[in-house]
């Protein structure tokens, strides 16, 4: 079983969705964790769009990447450019991937328009995981 860390800036949307998708869809091969370089509160839209596909991330909490200083990971995935630039080098020999996804937390408009952006990013993350993992 490979251990994966998914990093982004806030650990509130993209990395949380990726962690949930990996732990749900690839649980036989991988165990995922997520963190941020500047953690913020878990985004309620991320919780909602994940629940739509049967994945509960409502009890997840945003964590700082430093929490994992002494952990060894097989794979580290950054899902935003800021996290890539400030990605700690202490993840050593882990295979590193950089998959910059649009930040749905920046979405504006009606609730349905915002939810669509979150769904789009969730689905893009899942497709990327299916191709790469």
Q: In the annotation, is 25 catalytic?
A: no
Catalytic status, residue 80: yes
Sign of the CA dihedral 37, 43, 48, 51?
positive
Burial of residue 92 (number of CB atoms within 10 Å: 0-12, 13-18, 19+) = exposed
Of the residues 17, 42, 83, 87, only one is catalytic, namely 87
Catalytic residue, candidates 13, 80, 105, 114: 80
Q: What order of strands is seen across the sheet that includes strand 30-36?
A: 30-36, 2-8, 75-78, 95-98
Choice among 4, 5, 6, 8 that is catalytic: 8
Q: Which residues are catalytic?
A: 8, 80, 87
């Amino acid at each position: 079983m490979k251990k994966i860390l998914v990093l982004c800036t806030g650990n509130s949307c993209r990395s949380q969705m990726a962690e949930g998708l990996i732990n749900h869809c690839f649980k036989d091969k991988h165990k995922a964790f997520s963190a941020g370089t500047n953690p913020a509160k878990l985004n309620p839209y991320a919780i909602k769009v994940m629940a739509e596909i049967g994945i509960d991330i409502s009890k997840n909490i945003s964590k700082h990447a430093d929490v994992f200083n002494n952990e060894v990971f097989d794979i580290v995935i950054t899902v935003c450019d800021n996290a890539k630039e400030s990605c700690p080098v202490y993840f050593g020999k882990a295979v590193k991937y950089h998959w910059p996804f649009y930040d749905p937390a920046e979405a504006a408009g009606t609730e349905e328009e915002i939810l669509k952006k979150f769904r789009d990013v969730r689905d893009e993350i899942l497709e990327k995981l299916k191709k790469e993992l």
